[in-house]
Structure 1
Amino acid sequence: MVLLRVDPLGLSRSRFALSPFAETLSAMIVLSRPCTDFWLAAWHARHQAAFRARLDADPFTRGLVMLCGSTKYLPDHLVLPPPGGMGTTLESELVEVARVPDTAVRSSLVRSVAQSWEAHDLDWLTGHAHGARTAELFREVWQEHVAAHWAGRRALLERDVTYRAGLLAAHGWPRALHQMSRRSAWVGADAIRFNDRPGPDRVVGPDGMLFVPVSGPCGAWLCEAPGRPYALVYPARGAGGQCEGERLDPARSERAVARLIGAGRAAILRELARPATTSELAALLGQSLGTVGGHLAVLREADLLVGTRVGRRVVYQRTELGDLLADAGPGSASSAAEPT
């Protein structure tokens, strides 16, 4: 079990960040596999054929992507902490990746191959300037498959940050970090469990940690670099629902919930797969603040959702009962997150 040990000073300086690079890496892994998540189905269907053609045409791309999707140790040059907090840009991250020396790239790839659960080789790692080639690959994948959807995805990620910031303000970091990933958890008084595999503990420095949501449905990874804060990448709440399991027909599920509680309230409950404020819901659904507020009051009385105050705003999220009613799989897709 790998623990991230953090003292009170480091914890007080921990914060959230965004990483377009991590979002692109997550998208590449998702596109390399069959789609299992309803909310990503339209995007996946539109982009997978072109992405698979890229894999078939370029051994470097195929080798790197397939390795990343089947190893317990992501290559070091792909897991650098984002440098700009919530305002991190892709270009700022690509500059750092491009600077990684070939010897360092090869060394970390060898370790990734050794910790993969599938057979891999490095015959595809030919030539030189591996860091620069990786940066160019990520730039192209971002432009072709992610950039057009970034506004919606960023809104999803910011809503997760808002939700967790509310928990942080009200209850502290242990509650804010609850269920970031399937394996992470707060342990004792001073440690975050990163995963349940054997490995050395890490000591978080006085600058604290970064917590970085991505919209991919499964998996989490740790980013580290000398002299930089650790960054824990995790799937945003509601981004992909469950990672496994049988799904109900989405249209049938939505009709059933609408008949039970009304179409307007069902739409709000479905949208709250990702926490949101009243004004965010009104904008997403094209309804007035008064209408949304009335629906929220009824849903709260029915114990289908709860509100957490963050400064002057109240962020709403579904309860476990609300998740069950909305079926948090087919019904968790937001039209604002992934346009069809």
Structure 2
Amino acid sequence: MAVVVLRLDSLALSRSRFALSPFAETLAAVVQLARPHADPWAAPWWQRHRPAFLARLAGDGYARGLVELVAATKYLPDHLTLPPGGGMDTALESELAEVARVPDEVAVAGLRAAQERAWAGQRLDWLTGRDHGARAAELFRAVWDAHLAADWPARRAALRRDVTHRAGLLAAHGWPRALHLMNRTSAWVGADAIRFSDRPGRDRVVGPDGMLFVPVTAQRSSWLCEAPGRPFAMVYPARGTGEGGADGGHRAGDGRALARLLGGGRAQILRNLATPATTSELALQLAQSVGTVGGHLAILRDTGLVDRTRLGRRVLYHRTPLGDRLVAGPGAG
């Protein structure tokens, strides 16, 4: 069977757009917390939150079964992969309400399909009773409140930075460049199709409403969302939020050397400009005042390490090639 390919005509391309999904961010977090080992970039968050997460599951067999299934399957249940409906301002409340309204027969069919594609040992003896959509929504609300809500402003800022970066590529070079390396297996195929996955699956034809592209901070998370009468949505890992943080994985020794050279504040800003950002976005992410960040950016720009580009009403700062080389350090060639 062929790999999954999304076919778009010119109208679908022109109407495709980006969106945010707090629910997708929560689903990715559930999978992260369920796994016995953390990705290096997420280890501090995972270590803080996993004990309480596991304690909650220990008292709820249904929640434990659902979490174990989504963490061990190649096919996420349909009622957990609905395309977001609010664009860049999608609210968790609206997404939870949609999940809660999913009919039981749809939720059960999706859970059984997920179990068929899961690694060995996944059972469904916990799948009893009714109101499966509402029970999933209750679990996701609890996970959000306990493990994500406090971090959401910083996470949202990082996701918006990724969208801004890709929107700039789109304006300058078109969709193929904007979608480049969205996930580990996606690629532009010919003039009108995106290869979404290297796993077997059927082709999808994207309708005239186009597609949604939805970033999440988890670096191993990527899935396709679909629902009748709704545009497809591709969830993908955002740039600059992976191993090593937003600085793109610099070594600790290099970071200290950079701080000694530039000063701690300016070094931190330069590392975080692996993804272009505005002054206010950097200030939010680094928990500094806009004035402090603006002063550091002015010095970095005067020294040729940073430049800026206007995109609509936003002014984006980005590293110059010299800035990239300085962050990479002497061992990067």
TM-score with structure 2 setting the length = 0.87
Comparing 319-328 with 227-236, which one deviates more in the overlay?
A: 319-328
Q: How does 1:1-340 map to 2 (within 5 A)?
A: 1-33=3-35, 34-38=37-41, 40-241=42-243, 250=252, 252-281=253-282, 284=286, 285-286=288-289, 287=292, 289-300=294-305, 308-318=309-319, 326=327
Unmatched 5+ stretches in structure 2: none
Q: Aligned partners of 1:75, 1:23: CA distance in 2, in Å? A: 16
Q: CA deviation at 1:294?
A: 2.5
Q: CA deviation at 1:119?
A: 2.2
> 1:45/1:108 Cα in 2 relative to 1: closer, same or farther (>3 Å)?
same
Does the 8 Å CA contact 1:97/1:135 hold for their aligned counterparts?
yes
Q: CA deviation at 1:258?
A: 2.2
Q: CA deviation at 1:99?
A: 1.4
Q: CA deviation at 1:135?
A: 0.9
Does the 8 Å CA contact 2:157/2:281 hold for their aligned counterparts?
no
Matched to 2:103, the amino acid is: P
- Three-state SS of the structure 1 residue aligned to 2:151 is helix
Q: Aligned partners of 1:59, 1:322: CA distance in 2, in Å? A: 51
- Three-state SS of the structure 2 residue aligned to 1:267 is helix
Deviations 1:42-65, CA, capped at 9 Å, x for gaps: 322221100011222222111111
> 1:10/1:270 Cα in 2 relative to 1: closer, same or farther (>3 Å)?
same
Q: CA deviation at 1:309?
A: 3.8
Q: CA deviation at 1:86?
A: 1.0
Q: Aligned partners of 1:198, 1:242: CA distance in 2, in Å? A: 32
- Three-state SS of the structure 2 residue aligned to 1:234 is strand
In percent, how many aligned pairs have the same letter? 61
Unmatched 5+ stretches in structure 1: 329-340
Does the 8 Å CA contact 2:217/2:237 hold for their aligned counterparts?
yes
Q: Aligned partners of 1:288, 1:318: CA distance in 2, in Å? A: 15
Comparing 265-274 with 67-76, which one deviates more in the overlay?
A: 265-274
Q: CA deviation at 1:242?
A: 7.7
Q: Aligned partners of 2:127, 2:21: CA distance in 1, in Å? A: 26
Matched to 1:197, the amino acid is: R
Matched to 1:294, the amino acid is: I
- Three-state SS of the structure 1 residue aligned to 2:303 is helix
Deviations 1:254-274, CA, capped at 9 Å, x for gaps: 212223555444212222244
Does the 8 Å CA contact 2:225/2:232 hold for their aligned counterparts?
yes
Deviations 1:293-330, CA, capped at 9 Å, x for gaps: 23035354xxxx665541243424457886675469xx
Does the 8 Å CA contact 1:217/1:242 hold for their aligned counterparts?
no
- Three-state SS of the structure 1 residue aligned to 2:185 is coil
Matched to 2:86, the amino acid is: G
> 1:65/1:322 Cα in 2 relative to 1: closer, same or farther (>3 Å)?
farther
The number of aligned residues is 319
Q: CA deviation at 1:279?
A: 4.8
Q: Aligned partners of 1:143, 1:311: CA distance in 2, in Å? A: 35
> 1:324/1:194 Cα in 2 relative to 1: closer, same or farther (>3 Å)?
farther
Matched to 1:292, the amino acid is: L
> 1:120/1:88 Cα in 2 relative to 1: closer, same or farther (>3 Å)?
same
Q: Aligned partners of 1:136, 1:288: CA distance in 2, in Å? A: 40
